[in-house]
């Protein structure tokens, strides 16, 4: 029997640029039916999404899911707090880290798991300083130039 691969829905590229990602966690998310259908069409935006801990529960804020076009009266609101499903020990560990100065909880990507459940990858992160961002840009540009040089070298 062939195993299905997990398929990405949305990635938050801005998070990797703006933050230094430390620890990653895979968690489930509580969604309504029309939200899942919208995600199957990849109609979501994770750019400004972040997580908060309220009453020992983790909620994902600012996760934009476009309403399902055939949803009718049962459609969902575009932006709302969505509950994330994590183990108690993981929540406690994250909460201890969040108490430290400067740490945030950022959504990195959303995908369908092998069993076709929607999963969200979150990460504890520390904001990058301006010089760190410049360094990231320089590394990216250097990598592009090396790839160009190799590509042009192979042509001759």
Give tens-digit pLDDT for 11-41.
888 888 888 888 899 999 988 888 888 888 8
**Contact by Cβ (8 Å): 57, 83:** yes
133-154: average pLDDT = 84
Domain membership of residue 139 (yes or no) is: no
Closest CA to 130 of 13, 29, 18: 18
Domain membership of residue 138 (yes or no) is: no
What per-residue confidence (pLDDT) applies to 1?
44
Residue 88's domain comprises 7-128
Domain membership of residue 122 (yes or no) is: yes
| Distance from C-alpha of 20 to C-alpha of 7, rounded to nearest angstrom | 25
Domain membership of residue 135 (yes or no) is: no
Domain membership of residue 68 (yes or no) is: yes
Q: The domain that contains 112 carries what CATH number?
A: 2.40.280.10
Whole-model pTM: value is 0.73
| Distance from C-alpha of 91 to C-alpha of 38, rounded to nearest angstrom | 28
Indicate if the pLDDT at residue 3 is higher than 70: no
Question: What does the buried/exposed string (b/e) look like for 43-65 if buried means 16 or more CB atoms within 10 Å of the residue's CB?
Answer: bbebeebbbebeeeebbbeebeb
| Distance from C-alpha of 53 to C-alpha of 104, rounded to nearest angstrom | 11
106-119: average pLDDT = 89
Q: Side-chain half-sphere of 39: how many Cα atoms within 13 Å?
A: 27
Domain membership of residue 42 (yes or no) is: yes
Domain membership of residue 137 (yes or no) is: no
For the chain, what is the domain count? Answer: 1
Domain membership of residue 46 (yes or no) is: yes
Percent of the chain residues topping a pLDDT of 70: 94
């Amino acid at each position: 029997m062939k195993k299905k691969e997990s398929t990405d829905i949305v990635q938050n590229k801005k998070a990797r640029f703006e933050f230094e990602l430390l620890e990653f966690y895979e968690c489930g998310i509580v969604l309504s039916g029309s939200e899942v259908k919208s995600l199957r069409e990849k109609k979501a935006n994770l750019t400004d999404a972040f997580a908060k801990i309220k009453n020992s529960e983790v909620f994902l804020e600012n996760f934009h899911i476009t309403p399902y076009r055939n949803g009718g009266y049962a459609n969902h609101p575009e932006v709302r707090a969505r509950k994330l499903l994590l183990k108690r020990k993981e929540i406690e560990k994250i909460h201890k880290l969040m108490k430290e100065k400067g740490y945030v909880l950022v959504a990195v990507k959303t995908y369908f798991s092998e069993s076709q459940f929607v999963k969200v990858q979150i990460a504890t992160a520390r904001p990058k300083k301006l010089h760190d961002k410049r360094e990231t840009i320089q590394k990216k540009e250097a990598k592009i130039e090396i790839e160009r040089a190799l590509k042009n070298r192979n042509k001759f």
